[in-house]
Amino acid sequence: MRKMLLVGCAVLTLVGVSAATVSQTPRNETFRMVELFGDVLALTEQAYVVPVDNKKLIEAALAGMMTALDPHSNYLPPSGYGDLRERTEGQYSGVGLTITSEGGLVKIISPMDDGPAARAGVQAGDVIQSINGQNAAGLTVTQVSEKLRGAIGTSVDVTFLRDGEDPLEVTLTREVIKVESVTGRVEGDFGYLRIATFNENTGRELTETIARLKRTNPALKGYVLDLRNNGGGLLTAAIDVSDAFLERGEIVSQRGRKPDQIERYAARPGDLTGGLPVVVLINYGSASASEIVAGALKDQERATLVGLTSFGKGSVQTVIPLRGGADGALSITTARYFTPSGRSIQKIGIEPDLEVARSAAEARIVSRSSFIYSEAAYATALDASIGAERRGAHTPYEAPGEDFDEATDYQLQRAFDVLRAGGQLSRMAPPPNGVIVTLPEGAAGAVTAAAPAN
């Protein structure tokens, strides 16, 4: 069965394909360029100042060829391919980071919940400046991954850069990262569901977690589904999660280069929550598979979205093993995906129904959108195919004041407020005193409960 991993840096489809489609470049020109490559390799081997590793050079050339296409197409050497497979199985050794590269910099898509990096304060959008004192600029995702991984219990010194702050220098101890995809708890009348990643276990874990919460409180009145800083995962898992909250209707479609390359995925009868109100929390660290779930539940009017506009990765990558994986694999973009309403979110993201920043500092970052880490920040990103653009710099609709205790999760508080209003924004209680509230352009009165308390 085909499986797709939709993350910010790679997507996995385990298929028995060993050859790529020949490009549309005239064959004579293609062969001439291949011959040129061989000439350059031979000259480099003969003339470079020190002996060279041809295998290393060829792997670098393959990586460069793929990344010239878009940020998410990659050549994975055998070790990188093995790492990717381990991640989809939900357990690996490392420091707990999902990373990607852009413009010679390696950036954090999301830290894994309760992993070494997350505990050290690493955040989505941070840039890796150095590893063990060596500059990380110009390194590939695979090279950085190899430096961050190692024997359990060993340490690695990493320096991270963050907008407007001093470099963060931390020592991370490597450990087994056993990703608990789904966690949950009961908070009063409501269930809280956290999905950290989408792997092979997510659908089963979600079903079990919802059943456990129901046993804990059979009178639950609604659920919060937290997808913040979830960088993605298996397409099949995203479909299973969406299906858990839907009775019917399309979940997502993907469309390739040719008009007939369309696949649609629909929900099956059986809403595990019994139709109770659902609020989905998203932010700019919510990517790919997270956006499939958020887009499906929003378009099917099954959930209210609270938080910040998502990352905006609406492309699908297929990983094609080379010689059964012995020579690694190609991760190549093969399609865009679309929400049930037919929207492509590529470079745009999914906007929440109620825009809420988690802190005043986060609100300032949104007000300077050039510092927002998103798909739109990539110079080589695919366009949206629909001519739309991501919303630029603006003051978020709502954010806590400067003196708000950041240990309190303000976005989660507002999600519970939506549930207390039965999922209806117009019936919500006003936000707490001291919050910043700014109506979006042309939306005055659209969310009547957003006026600050007197």
Evaluate whether 314 touches 336 at the Cβ level (below 8 Å). yes
Out of 126, 243, 299, 417, pick the active-site residue: 299
299 classed as catalytic: yes
Are the beta carbons of 113 and 194 closer than 8 angstroms? yes
Distances (CA, A) of 422 to 189, 246, 300, 365, 419: 12, 18, 17, 31, 5
Residue 91 near residue 177, CB atoms below 8 Å? yes
**Number of neighbouring beta carbons within 10 Å of residue 73:** 22
DSSP track, 8-67: SS----------PPPPSS-HHHHHHHHHHHHHHHHHHHHHSSS---HHHHHHHHHHHHHH
Q: How big is the CA angle at 151 (ends 150 and 154), to the nearest 5 degrees?
A: 90
Query: What whole-number distance in Å separates Cα of residue 74 and Cα of residue 62?
Result: 8
**DSSP collapsed to 3 states, 357-410:** CCCHHHHHHHHCHHHCCCHHHCCCCCCCCCCCCCCCCCCCCEECCCCCCCCCCH
- Count of residues for the chain? 454
From residue 402, alpha-carbon distances to 102, 341, 393, 396 in Å are 32, 38, 20, 14
Catalytic residue from among 83, 113, 145, 313: 313
What is the residue type of 323? Answer: R
- What are the backbone dihedrals phi and psi of residue 449, each rounded to the nearest 5 degrees, phi first? -80, 0
CB 329 within 8 A of CB 85: no
CA distance 285 to 85: 22
Q: How far apart are CA 246 and CA 171, in angstroms?
A: 44
- List the catalytic residue out of 145, 242, 288, 374: 288
Burial 419-436 (b: 16+ CB within 10 A, else e): bbbebebeebeebbeebb
Q: CB–CB of 412/226 below 8 Å?
A: yes
DSSP state of 289: H
Q: Report the C-alpha gap between 93 and 178 in whole angstroms.
A: 8
Catalytic status, residue 288: yes
Catalytic residues: 288, 299, 313
